[in-house]
């Protein structure tokens, strides 16, 4: 079969002939792959930069972790691969399969799943979002951030505040459910003042952060109290696009009623992962099929994987490899 294979850490994946995988137990099944989204997560795991990565060995490894495929009986599903997905064939786990509704395209289903995992798991389980909450999405102009804005509204957020760098993408978020936008390109003092004003006007209940780094430092500092009672805020770290480390003063933590947690591989319980596949993903796929969850994709061919590995695409879109 043809596949996108990473042979050495730091190199580009190659479009090559590769042995067809075989199921190793009763929970695994061979599928024909239709479409696989190429995400920062996939690049990080393939190159050994993601914390969950076991970097590729000399023998080579198929890249990509999940996608849209056909079961042997012709059923179209979303599934998670056991050992790589960006190939004509893959092995997926029967316990991590979601049947897809007719109204969603292969590209949209492949692109949407990871964003739902990066948004809904944080909102529902780590932030415990409630109807009427005020939600701040830091880094909302990226693909997952745009999905998070829409899911927050779907889960009942009274107000969604979105931050980001791209001015056009920020304005687009107003049409996707955001109620207020704040640019991170402005001076630090102005950015923090807008956060403080927003928090004073409608106290922020939930912060979902995809950037970390300096913007997270500024947001946390903006919540800092002065010894009086403060509003409880649940801050959930999901990504670190602008830096893996921050400086956070002990006084900042002691002065505000703050819940600081993360959402990612290793942070969820088995029951929560079960609910992801049995409830959350099916609901979000159907919302997309009904036109109520909007995303944009750029489709490319598997054979061009080496040339497209570092392709820059418009902000807020997802690159999808069609097999």
What φ, ψ does residue 78 adopt, rounded to 5°? -95, 140
Q: Report the chain's terminal Cα–Cα distance, integer Å.
A: 11
Sheet holding 61-62, edge to edge: 14-17, 2-6, 61-62
Residue ranges for the chain with pLDDT beneath 70 = 9-10, 41, 44-59
For residues 110 and 85, the answer to whether their CB atoms sit within 8 Å is no
CB 143 within 8 A of CB 118: no
Q: What are phi and psi of 15, to 5 degrees?
A: -90, 105
Dihedral over Cα of 288, 291, 295, 299: its sign: positive
Q: Judging by beta carbons within 10 Å of its beta carbon (0-12, 13-18, 19+), is residue 244 exposed, middle or buried?
A: exposed
Q: Other C-beta atoms within 10 Å of 5: how many?
A: 22
Contact in structure between 264 and 238 (CB atoms under 8 Å): yes
SS3 call for 304: helix
- Structural domains in the chain, CATH included, are 2-99+295-322 (3.90.180.10), 115-262 (3.40.50.720)
Secondary structure (DSSP) of 81-115: ESS--SBSEEEEEEEEEEEPPTTS-HHHHHHHHHH
**Structure-token pair, residue 204:** 């922020």
**Burial class of 275 by CB neighbour count within 10 A (0 to 12, 13 to 18, 19+):** middle
What pLDDT score was predicted for residue 193? 98
Give strand pairing partners of 78.
68, 98
Write down the number of H helices and E strands in the chain: 10, 15
Give residue-wise pLDDT tens across range 61-113: 899 999 999 999 999 999 999 989 999 999 999 999 999 999 999 999 999 99
- Taking only the tens place, the pLDDT of each residue in 111-128 is 999 999 999 999 999 999
What is the model's pLDDT at position 155?
98
Sign for the pseudo-dihedral over CA of 319, 111, 206, 265: negative
């Amino acid at each position: 079969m043809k596949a996108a294979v990473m042979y050495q850490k730091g190199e580009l994946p190659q479009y090559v002939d590769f042995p067809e995988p075989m199921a190793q137990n009763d929970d695994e099944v061979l599928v024909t792959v239709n479409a696989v989204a190429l995400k920062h997560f996939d690049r990080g795991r393939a190159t050994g930069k993601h914390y969950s990565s076991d970097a590729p060995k000399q023998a080579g490894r198929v890249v990509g972790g999940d996608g849209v495929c056909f079961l042997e009986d012709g059923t179209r599903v979303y599934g998670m691969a056991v050992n790589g997905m960006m190939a004509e064939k893959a092995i997926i786990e029967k316990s991590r399969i979601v049947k897809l509704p007719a109204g969603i395209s292969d590209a949209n289903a492949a692109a949407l799943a990871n964003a739902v995992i990066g948004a809904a798991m944080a909102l529902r389980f780590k932030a415990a979002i409630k109807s009427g909450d005020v939600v701040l999405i830091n880094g909302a102009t990226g693909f997952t951030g745009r999905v998070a804005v829409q899911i927050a509204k779907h889960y009942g957020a009274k107000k969604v505040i979105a931050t980001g760098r791209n001015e056009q993408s920020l304005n687009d978020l107003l049409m996707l459910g955001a109620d207020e936008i704040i640019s991170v390109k402005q001076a630090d003092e102005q950015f923090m003042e807008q956060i403080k004003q927003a928090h004073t006007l409608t106290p922020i209940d939930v912060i979902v952060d995809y950037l970390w780094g300096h913007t997270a430092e500024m947001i946390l500092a903006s919540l800092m109290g002065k010894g009086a009672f403060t509003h409880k805020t649940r801050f959930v770290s999901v990504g670190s696009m602008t830096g893996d480390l921050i400086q956070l003063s002990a006084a900042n933590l002691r002065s505000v009623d703050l819940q600081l947690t993360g959402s990612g591989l290793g942070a969820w319980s088995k029951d929560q992962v079960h609910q992801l596949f049995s409830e959350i993903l099916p609901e979000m796929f159907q919302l997309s099929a009904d036109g109520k969850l909007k995303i944009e994709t750029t489709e490319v061919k598997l054979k061009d994987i080496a040339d497209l590995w570092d392709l820059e695409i418009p902000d807020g879109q997802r690159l999808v490899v069609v097999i």
